[in-house]
Chains A and B, each alone.
Chain A
C-alpha cells in the first residue's frame, strides 16, 4: 500500500515536473517569438544607442519629436476612429451573424463565403477602390452619378471610418458568429416560457455573448489603430492624420528614425491597454460556459417572404458596400486598356491578365507565400487554441492578463514594428558570432509571420472557447478517458469549426502580409505581397491589380475547398454543434 502511494506520489511529481517544463518552454518560446522583438523595438524609444539607432543611451527625445510631429492628434484620431469602428463593426457583424446563423435566409453559404472575400481585400485596395469610384471624374462620374457632397464627405473622417467598418466587420463576424451559434435553444426557450417576446428573449441572450462581443470589439479596435493601408492612402489624402502614418513617416523618410517610431508605438500600446482595462472591467467575475453536453441546437427562424426581402437587402447591401468599390476599382484598373480614359465596354481588355500568365512572374512568389502560409497557419491554429483556452480559464492569473495585453499590443502595432523588431533581435552581432544566422532565412520570416498571426487568431478563438462548459470534459474523465482523450473527444468537435476559420484567417493573412515580408524576406525569394507592390509601384496599376485579382481568386479557392472539405470529411456530430435546426 505504502509502495503504491510512494509510486503514485512519484508519478504525480513527474507529471507536475513535466507540466512545469512544458509551461516554461511555452513562455520561453513566446518570449523569443513575441516579447523580445517587440520589446527591443519599443526600447529604442528610450535607448536609441542600444541598437545603433542614435547616440543617446537614455533619452526621451524621441517622444518629444513624436509629439512635435503631431502624434497626439494622430493617436486621438486613431482611438476615436478605432472606437467607433469597433462598436459599429460588432453591431453589424452581430446582425449579419443572426440573419445567417439563426434564420432560413436564402444564400446563407454564399454570404459566409463572401465574408472571406471582404476579409481578403487589402485595406489599401478598398480605400483606393472607393477613391477611384467617388473622386470627381471617377467611375461614378462616368456612370452619370455626380454627387460632390458625397465626395467631400468621403474624403475625410467619415470616409475613413466607413472603410474601416467594412474591413472590421469580418473580424467581428469571425469572433461573434461561432459564439452566437453556440448559444443553445434552451436559453431562448427559458426566456420565452417566462413570457419574453422574441426581442425580449434576445435581450437575454446577447449578454451571454459578452466574451465574444468584447473579443470582437478589442480585436477590431486594435486592427483599426494598427492599420496602415487606409492611413497611408485615404486618411493621408484627406488630411486626417492617423497614428500609424506618423509612425510610417518616421521610418519612410531618410534618415530613418526608429526611436520616434517606437515612441508612437508606446502610444498605441497605451491605447490598447485602456481598451483591455475596459474589457476586463466589463466581464470580470462572470461565467459564460453555455456549451455543455446538454446544449440543444437553436431553432432556425422561418422567415416570411417580406422577411426574406428585408434580410437579403440588409445582408446583400453590406456586401455591395464592402466589395462593390474594390471590385469596381480592381476591374477598372486591371481590365481597362493601357491609356484608356474612361470606363466603357469598348475600352476593356484582358491584356494585363494575358501578360501575367505569359510571363509567369506570379507563380514563384505565389508558391513561396502559399507554402509559408500553410505551414504557419497549421502551427498557429494549434497554438492559438491552447492560448485561447489559457486566456479563458476561470482562474486566469497574472500570466493570462500579461498574455492578453501582449497579444493585443502586438495586434495594435503595425507590421513594420514586428519586422524591424525581428531584425533588431536576430541580427545582433553576438548572435551571428555564436553561429546562429537566422536573419535572411525563411525560418525567421516564418517566425515573424507566426508572431503576427498568433495574436489575432487567438483573439478570434477566445469567444468560442469561453463558451465551452467543462462538464463534457469532466464527464469524459469520469468515464475513464485520459486528459488528451477527454479533450479531443469533448472539446475538439466543439471548436473544430472555429479552428478551421482560424486556419483560414492565418493562411489568407500570411499570404498577403506585406510589412514583415518586406523587412525579412530572404534574398532571391520574393513573397507574393512584395511581388504585387513592386508591380504596383510603376505608374501603370494594371499588371499589379491583375496580380491582386488572380491572388485573391486563388485564396478564395482555398477557402472554398477548405469549407467543402470540412463539410465532407468531418463526422456529422462535429458539424451539428451550434447549427440551427429547421
Chain B
C-alpha cells in the first residue's frame, strides 16, 4: 500500500515535472516565434500609407502591382490615425495620409507637417478647385456630402428640401443625427449647418431650434440608421455615402437639402519623410487619379466610401449616385473651421445631446 502510494507520488511528481518541462519548452517555442513575427522593420518598404478609406486595401495593392513600389498600409479610423501621427510628431513614420475631411489637413499644414506645392497634373472639376488650398499642401480625391437627408419613404412622401423646414412642427420628433463628439464625419456637417446659418452663434441657435423640435441624437451612423429602420425616427442627416449605401437595401430614400456641405477625401504627404518616400507618395497620388486608381476606389467599398463623386472632369460616379450638378453645395474653409472643432463638439454635447 505504501509502495503504491510512493509510486503514485513519484509518478505524480514525474508528471508534474513533465508538465513544467513542457511548459518551459512551450515558452521557448513561443519566445522564438516572435523572431519571425518581429523581424526588423524592413528597409525595403519606403512608402507607409495611413488611411481610413474603405477602398484603401484595393488601392494599395493595385498601386504596388502597377509600380512595383513596396507599400504598407496602416488602416484605421481617422481619429486613431491622427492620434498616431500626433504622437510621432518628433519622428514621423508615415509617408502619406488619406482620410475624409480637410480640417485635420489644414491643422497639419499649419504645423508645417505637410509637403507643399504638390499638385497632380489632372483636369479638376470646379468643386475640386474650390477645395484645393493655396499652398497646395493637400489634394482632394473625391467628394461625399456631410449632411445628406435619408428618409423612410413609407412614412414620408415629400421630404423637406431646406434646412429651415426641419424646424417646422410637422417634423417634430422625426429627425435624427449623430453626436459629432463620437462620430468623426459629423463635425463637418455641424460646421456646415453653422456656416449656412451665418456663424457659430446663429448655428447654435438653429440647432437649439432643432432640439426643441425633437431632434434625436445617436452615437454613430449605425445607431442612427438602425433607429430610422426601426421607426423610432422618420429621417436622419448622415454622410451621403452611408445614406446612399443604406438606401440600396431598403425602403429608405435620399434627399439633398440646400445647401449640402462638401466633405472631401484628402491626400497629404509628410514633409519630413525622406526624399525617396516623398517621390513614392507623389506617384501614389498620381496613381489614384489614373483610370486604374479610380476603378479601385469604386470597387473597393461599394456600400460605403466607394459612393463618392470624382474630382476629375469626365469621370463618372457609381450609378447609385445622382449627377453632382444636381446637388446644391457649399464649401467649408478648413483653415477657419478646423480649429473650432473641439469647442463646437463640446457645446453640442452639453446643449444638444439629451
Contacts and interface: CB of A to CB of B under 8 A. Distances in A.
Interface of A: 51-53, 69, 128, 131-132, 135-138, 141, 232-233, 236-237, 239, 249, 251-258, 338-342, 368, 371-372, 374-375, 378-379, 382, 416, 419-420, 423-424, 427-429, 432, 437, 439-443, 446, 488-489, 492-493, 518-519, 521-524, 526, 530, 533-534, 536-541, 569-574
Given A378-B30, A442-B38, A573-B12, A249 B83 contact: no
A523 B74 contact: yes
B12 A539 contact: no
B39 A232 contact: no
A249 B38 contact: no
7 contacts: A51-B89, A52-B90, A237-B179, A249-B342, A252-B79, A537-B52, A540-B222
Given A249-B342, A441-B41, A239 B76 contact: no
Contacts of A251: 79, 83, 86
Given A137-B231, A378-B26, A338 B181 contact: no
Interface stretch (B188-196, B206-214, B282-290, B345-353): B345-353
Interface string B45-76: 10010001010000000000000000011111
- Top 7 A-B pairs, shortest CB-CB distance: A339-B250, A523-B72, A256-B86, A339-B249, A137-B232, A539-B242, A52-B89
B107 A255 contact: yes
A523 B31 contact: no
Interface of B: 12-13, 15-16, 19-20, 26-27, 30-31, 33-34, 37-41, 45, 48, 52, 54, 72-77, 79-80, 82-84, 86-91, 93, 103-104, 107, 111, 179, 181-182, 184, 217-219, 221-223, 225-227, 229-232, 238, 242, 245-246, 249-252, 301, 303-304, 338-339, 341-342, 345-346, 349-350, 353-354
Nearest to A374: B30
A538 B84 contact: no
A51 B76 contact: no
A493 B16 contact: yes
A177 B280 CA distance: 57
Contacts of A137: 227, 230-232
Contacts of A69: 346
A524 B72 contact: yes
A537 B30 contact: no
A80 B225 CA distance: 34
Nearest to A437: B41
B91 A440 contact: no
Given A420-B87, A427-B93, A538-B242, 6 more contacts: A132-B226, A237-B353, A254-B86, A427-B87, A539-B225, A539-B242
A572 B12 contact: yes
B303 A538 contact: yes
A422 to B, nearest CB: 9
A136 B231 CA distance: 10
Given A341-B230, A492-B16, A534-B77, A53 B349 contact: no
Contacts of B89: 51-53
Contacts of B217: 237
B75 A530 contact: yes
Contact of B345 (A253, A382, A419, A492): A253
A189 B83 CA distance: 59
B19 A570 contact: yes
Contacts of A132: 226
Given A236-B349, A492-B20, A249 B181 contact: yes
B38 A443 contact: yes
Contacts of A492: 16, 20
Contacts of A252: 79, 83, 184
Contacts of A536: 222
A69 B350 CA distance: 11
Contacts of A534: 75-77
Contacts of A488: 16, 20
B231 A339 contact: no
A342 B230 contact: yes
A565 to B, nearest CB: 10
Given A135-B227, A540-B222, A573-B12, A372 B37 contact: yes
Contacts of B223: 128, 131
A440 B87 contact: no
A424 B292 CA distance: 39
A537 B76 CA distance: 9
B91 A432 contact: yes
Contacts of A539: 221-222, 225, 238, 242, 245-246, 304
Given A538-B54, A570-B19, A340 B45 contact: no
A379 B89 CA distance: 32
Contacts of B218: 237
Contact of B219 (A236, A340, A519): A236
A570 B19 CA distance: 7
Nearest to A50: B90
B230 A382 contact: no
Contacts of B84: 423, 518-519
Given A340-B229, A441-B39, A442-B37, A420 B83 contact: yes
A523 B182 CA distance: 26
A9 to B, nearest CB: 33
Nearest to A361: B57
B27 A378 contact: yes
From A132, A374, A382, A443, residue with most partner B Cβ within 10 Å: A443
B65 to A, nearest CB: 15
Given A236-B181, A249-B342, A338-B249, A254 B33 contact: no
From A489, A493, A539, residue with most partner B Cβ within 10 Å: A539
B97 to A, nearest CB: 11
A341 B234 CA distance: 12
A464 B274 CA distance: 54
Nearest to B12: A571
